Amino acid sequence: MSEVEEIKEKAKRAAEKKATYGPDIELKVYTSKAPEHTKVQELKMLSPDYQRMSLSVGVDSAEAERAGSYFQLDTSVVYSKATSENVEVLSTTEALSKYDWLKDYWWKAVAVDADKYTAKAALELSDGYFIRVKSGAKVIMPIQACMFIARESLSQNVHNIIIAEEDSELHIISGCRTSDDVTHGIHIGVSEFYVKKGAKLSFTMIHNWGPHVEVRPRSGSIIEEDATFISNYVCMKPVKSLQMYPVFKCVGENATALSSSLLYATEGSHMDVGARVILDAKECKSDVISRVITNGGEVISRGNITGLSPDVKGHLECRGLILGEHGRVYAIPELDGAVPGVEMSHEAAVGKIAEEEIAYLMTRGLSEDEATAAIVRGFLDVDIKGLPPALKEEMRRAIQMGESMAL
């Protein structure tokens, strides 16, 4: 049996396998088929509505200060282009056809039989993107990628591969959203990251889904010696159900994994989000930070750091803010030290805005709404080191959208 056939067989056996976390979803109510969309020569040729909506998740149709762009509309790759000679931006099916060696990365950081969602991505693939930065290249301008759902009740099943070769640097902004007129759908996104020796990769994902959309990202990363992976996740808009638990494996000495998430849960939303880091070589480091606001939704924030080698350092931090009379934040920090010499810590805090804080700011001339806004803004202010200015600006805009909804 070939490796491709073996992957398919594993996926078939897991087609009904429930995920460990999050509510189970009946996948049969969604379709994986959609009419083919026409390719465009530049993103400015997309409809004005698509351009406007994609901008809300950081994808700029003008492609200003971008090293490349990828745009997938439902199951169709309508645009993929690199503007730097040091990077490649292709669909995964195109990349698999072009590079025989890519099979050595295919389903290596994420198990195809992890659950029914990974299985569906293998059995009913809706494409995805392949992004690679060449060895030694320092690409400061980010690459942008957009996964857009425009068809009602679609199951968008994508598989992404990102490779940062040795001593390279790359920044990616991934914006995902549904069209304003789509009420139901599911996005299944498998993403595999390979950060080679001495490389630096930052990946910032901004989600803007609908209040009845289900989301199931599945991602894994392998981080080699002296490499750094910065992963940021922002979801400040309504979503019915979101469940993700990315796994970062630091396999080379002095590898670093940094994970930050900013979440806002509205009434009726259920979010089960976290991150697991495995420190499996000497002097690896990790920080996992989450900021959660609920205004009636339920959020489970998980974090796990496992130290398997001496002299590793890790820190978990979860802070939750409850607005109004309803909502729930459940923080689950876990530390697992398996050898002497590990240094790991965690902290978690959940509460409401203190009335004395609002009162104090009001004595300084702010209205009650202005005081609340200032406190929320400060709560969401997470200093993420290593991001280029363009990416920091996109995160600032996404956070501002959440502030306006929360207040």
| pLDDT score at 36 | 96
**b/e per residue, 206-242, with b = 16+ CB within 10 A?**
bbbbbeebbbbbbbbbbbbbbbbbbbbbbbbbbbbbb
| pLDDT score at 2 | 83
Q: Give the long-range contacts of residues 2-11, CB within 8 A, separation 24 or more.
A: 3/103, 4/103, 7/106, 7/107, 7/112, 7/122, 8/122, 8/123, 10/112, 10/113, 10/119, 10/122, 11/112, 11/113, 11/118, 11/119, 11/120, 11/122, 11/123
Report the Cα 123 to chain-centroid distance in Å.
22
Q: How far is CA 312 from CA 229, 245, 275, 309, in A?
A: 16, 22, 17, 6
Do 31 and 123 share a structural domain? yes
Do 386 and 330 share a structural domain? no
The secondary structure of 67-114 as a DSSP string is SEEEEEETTEEEEEEESSTTEEEEEHHHHHHH-GGGGGTTTTSS-TTS
E strand or H helix at 203 = strand 200-208
Q: Rounded distance, CA 141 to CA 116, Å?
A: 36
Q: Rounded distance, CA 168 to CA 162, Å?
A: 13
| pLDDT score at 384 | 58
Do 149 and 78 share a structural domain? yes
Do 66 and 17 share a structural domain? yes
Q: Rounded distance, CA 315 to CA 92, Å?
A: 34
Write down which residue in 353, 368, 383 finishes a domain.
353
Query: What's the structural domain count of the chain?
Result: 2
Do 125 and 258 share a structural domain? yes
Do 192 and 69 share a structural domain? yes
Dihedrals φ, ψ of 279, to 5°? -95, 100
pTM: 0.93
Write down which residue in 353, 378, 393 finishes a domain.
353
| Burial classification of residue 201, based on how many CB atoms lie within 10 Å of its CB (0-12 exposed, 13-18 middle, 19 or more buried) | buried
Contacts of 110 (CB under 8 A, 6+ apart): 118, 190, 191, 192, 218, 219, 220
Do 249 and 287 share a structural domain? yes
Do 243 and 99 share a structural domain? yes
Closest by Cα among 290, 340, 338 to 315: 290
Do 72 and 40 share a structural domain? yes
Q: Tell me the H-state helices in 306-386.
A: 355-363, 368-379
Report the chain (407 residues): mean pLDDT per 10 consecutive residues: 89 97 96 96 96 90 92 98 95 97 97 98 97 97 96 98 98 94 97 98 93 97 98 91 98 97 92 97 96 92 96 94 87 95 92 69 70 68 60 63 52
| Burial classification of residue 353, based on how many CB atoms lie within 10 Å of its CB (0-12 exposed, 13-18 middle, 19 or more buried) | middle
Give the residue numbers spanning the domain of 94.
3-353
Do 51 and 35 share a structural domain? yes
Do 377 and 231 share a structural domain? no
Do 377 and 280 share a structural domain? no
Write down which residue in 353, 383, 399 finishes a domain.
353
